[in-house]
Each structure stands twice: as C-alpha cells, then as structure tokens.
Amino acid sequence: AQKVTQAQTEISVVEKEDVTLDCVYETRDTTYYLFWYKQPPSGELVFLIRRNSFDEQNEISGRYSWNFQKSTSSFNFTITASQVVDSAVYFCALGPGKGDDKIIFGKGTRLHILP
Amino acid sequence: AAGVIQSPRHLIKEKRETATLKCYPIPRHDTVYWYQQGPGQDPQFLISFYEKMQSDKGSIPDRFSAQQFSDYHSELNMSSLELGDSALYFCASSLGPEVYNEQFFGPGTRLTVL
C-alpha cells in the first residue's frame, strides 16, 4: 500500500528562522514520484517540486531545498530564512505508481511564520 | 500558459440538491482527475478519466458521477447533497495517464452545503 506520513501537524517559527518539514513515504513501486505542494489560505494547491524516484540529488530553489533519501524513504523540505508569506499548509505527496493514477497526499503540515 | 480551469469557483447548495462541477483541462491534455478536500483534510482522489473512459476510481460516493466529454472537459455530478459534501474539489489534468506524466491542478471549486 502507498502511504505518506507527515508527522508534524503544526509548526510555528519566528520569521528568519530555518524550518524543516518532514515527509516519510511507503510504496512497493520502483518507479514513483514525490511532490510537495503549498496551500495558502486562499485554498489553491501550489506545486513546489516533483522528484523522480531514480533521482536522489538534493535540490535547491531560492530559499527552498529538498532532501530525498531513498534509504530512509524520506523527502524532507527545508525553508531557509522563513518569511511570513511562507505561512501555509504544506502537503507531501506520492505517486502515481504503475497502473495507478492517483496522487496520495500526506495529512499536511500547517506552518505558521510569526513576525 | 493556459492552466486547468474549474467552474464555478464557489457554489452554495442546500441539502438534497444537486450540483455540477466543471473542469477544463490544459489544451491537449487527455486525462482528468478529481480530488475532494474536506475542511482541514488532505485531498482525496475520487476518479479519473483517460480518453473519455474511466481509468481509476477512488473513494467516490455512489451519489456522485462523472464523465469526460469529447473535448476532454469533465463534469462531476453530485446528487442528494449532504452536509459532509462541503469541501474543496480539485480537478487536475495530464497528457496521458502514464506514471511519468505530471498532473496539473486547477484552482478548485469550493462547495458549501447548507
């Protein structure tokens, strides 16, 4: 079965602090994709990153970075020098797998950046 | 670039009424997915279509039905609405259902059932 676990339900940090959002996944597929989405209060799902299961290179995009560790089935997301505009719910997601269309989302982590 | 279009963006209905949500995929995309996100919940997959045929089915209630039309747009029909159907409904589209094809999400339709 496919599963995504985001153990942190809610995190609060003060602006300019770094924060890491954890994501652990389970899958039997050898080919899969991992995603991070941001959902601000307005409700839309903002795509942040898609990572192929064969590409374990870490990625940095501005203040955002992702650490993909296949050995521990983790795909953690770090925001450096956080800003108030980063406040949102962040979803880690998995899929689709072979013969399976759907994306499986984690429960999300609500991030509060305090001024 | 053109994105996935969903209409309406907001919808208010009474219990036991029906609702129809529409999704217009990105041009040339032939695969459509529907997700339901309840308040404070993660998005849950409902159903998907590829080339006008249902390709996968998730936790979609029997009161809901969906279809994909010849122009690839899709409609989600919801009957006998219940309070628990209040949610954000996302549509996503991709070019083909294969595992390597990225799904692009629409802005969502917020349905409120009173």
- pLDDT digit string (tens) for A5-27? 999 999 999 999 999 999 999 99
CA distance B32 to chain A (A): 10
What is the pLDDT tens value at each position of chain A, 115 positions in all? 789 999 999 999 999 999 999 999 999 888 889 999 999 998 999 989 999 898 888 888 899 999 999 999 999 999 999 999 999 999 999 987 666 678 899 999 999 999 9
CB within 8 Å of chain B, chain A residues 81-110: 91, 96-98, 100-108
Q: Which of B45, B102, B104 sits opposite A102 (nearest CB)?
A: B45
pLDDT on residue A77 = 97
Residue A32, burial from CB neighbour count under 10 angstroms (0-12, 13-18, 19+): buried
State the SS3 of A1-54: CCEEECCCCEEEEECCCCEEECCEEECCCCCCEEEEEEECCCCCCEEEEEEECC
pLDDT on residue A99 = 63
CA distance B10 to chain A (A): 12
Instruction: Give every CB contact of residue A62 below 8 A, 6+ residues apart in sequence.
Output: none
